[in-house]
Amino acid sequence: MKWGAVVVAAGRGKRMGAADNKPYLPLAGRPILAHTLEAFERCGTVESIVVVAAPGEEAKAEAAVRAMTVACRKLRAIVPGGAERQDSVYEGLAALETEGVLVHDAARPLVTPEQIEACCREAERHGASALAVPVKDTIKIEGERGFMTATPDRSTLWAVQTPQAFARAELMEAHRLAKAEGAAATDDTMLLERLGRKVAIVPGDYRNLKITTPEDLPIAELLLERRRREDSD
């Protein structure tokens, strides 16, 4: 199966409280997006990449590509996103031609080529897959506002990450149906679940964090530096 990647960089990232959107904030001297793209460029399973940028920020995405330490030979397009994340992902899907597709948040710059490849392998076996890690904390369900009413079994709970891997045609159909029915989803696995499809869990890594708040940036810097030291040993 030939694989392409949709890297979603169209979010506004209001919780960061920064002037720039998250993908363009500096991480170890280069835009977050540059680090993210390098993982997909280095993954031999991926043959093409589409970046979805917020409308008007295509030039920022191009600058991030130029800041990569390796040549981005797999980039096929930088396309403007839509009003919601689902709209942005669909624009990216439409710009690819591969049979398989990975959807990844640009704000997860510590993903590895090995994790990307594992997602592809499991999706080829099971139809769809996603990186995920076991939930560490006890989770509570709020019933009456402000009060805990139930505690789900933590052993069955996973925190989903990206990338998530699918057959591109099936994911596009899931997006079309969700749009027609007015169904919202916070990630793409939810759209497959609506169709009754199972998504295989690919054990991920807690270091594959999503940079969401200002506190996440120094943590990502430390993790990146640790990885560099490990690679040089």
Who contacts 145 (Cβ-Cβ below 8 Å, separation ≥6)?
none
Whether the per-residue pLDDT at 20 is higher than 90: the answer is: no
Whether the per-residue pLDDT at 16 is higher than 70: the answer is: no
Tokens 């624009």, residue? Answer: 91
Confidence grade of residue 17 (pLDDT, cut at 50, 70, 90): low
Give me the phi and psi of 190, to 5 degrees please.
-60, -35
pLDDT of 18 reads 60
CATH of the domain at 225: 3.90.550.10
* Number of structural domains found in the chain: 1
Sign of CA dihedral 36, 40, 41, 43: positive
CA distance 61 to 74: 15
Pairing of strands 100-105, 158-167: antiparallel
Q: With 0.85 as the threshold, say if the pTM is over it.
A: yes
Provide the residue range defining the domain that includes 204.
3-232
pLDDT of 144 reads 82
CA distance 216 to 228: 18
